[in-house]
Amino acid sequence: MEFKALHDWNVSTSEAQAIQRHLAARVSRRNETSANPRFIAGVDISAENQKGIARAAVVMLSYPELELVEVRSVERRVDFPYVPGLLSFRESPLIVEALEELATTPDLMLVDGQGLAHPRRFGIACHLGLLLDIPTLGCAKSILVGRHEPVGEDVGSYAELLDRGEVVGVALRTKAGASPVYVSIGHKVDLPSSIHWVMSCCRGYRIPEPTRLAHLAAGGKLSEKAPQAQRGQESRQVRLL
């Protein structure tokens, strides 16, 4: 996969905030998702261990089957400090390394994190969306900014997430009896489409399959998997040896 070089990663916290404010204006809130995507990716990253090592993982699923096609992960030390609102500068470089291992560019990417529902309207879903220049949305397990009215108990019910008078996302009920998830625009997708794709990717769990499986992979509970064609080539090479 190819990425755009948007900025240097070796920056101070104040420089990172300035970069977020600058790049936020480049986020597209217009829906450019395909009505029939072939591949949907999910990304997540584990908390670093005692040695400061974290694992970023990306999974690729076929759609609409949501069958696992590819799993890639990268482990290394994270250096950027833990600062609320700047997690994309801490996590994105490692996630990008995992994404670079993918054999196929996804048609849509779901990120375990915030998009526009961010103090500077530039969460990690926006950041990765701009870097990849593909439709991307954020589906977070907890709220970062904004408030919302109570969400109905029926699956698919949602309430708008408001911050400083602006709708920045929704609290969405994906499973009966479970807390809502927080969905927001990342890049090249609108909010109604973001809600649609999260619900379309749910299979009985609170978390949609792309980010649920990415979470398992980041935690070391899902082994790496190469695309079918590549696995066939690897098998042939083994037989030749």
Alpha helices in the chain, H assignment, sequence order = 13-24, 87-99, 124-132, 191-200, 209-218, 228-240
Neighbours of 224 (CB within 10 A): 12
Residue-wise pLDDT for 40-97, tens only, equals 999 999 987 777 799 999 999 999 999 999 999 999 988 888 898 999 999 999 999 9
Tokens of 166: 């602006």
Would you say domain 15-240 falls under CATH 3.30.2170.10?
Answer: yes
Mean pLDDT of 122-150: 97
Backbone region of residue 25 per phi and psi (left: phi > 0; alpha: psi in -120 to 50; beta: other values): alpha
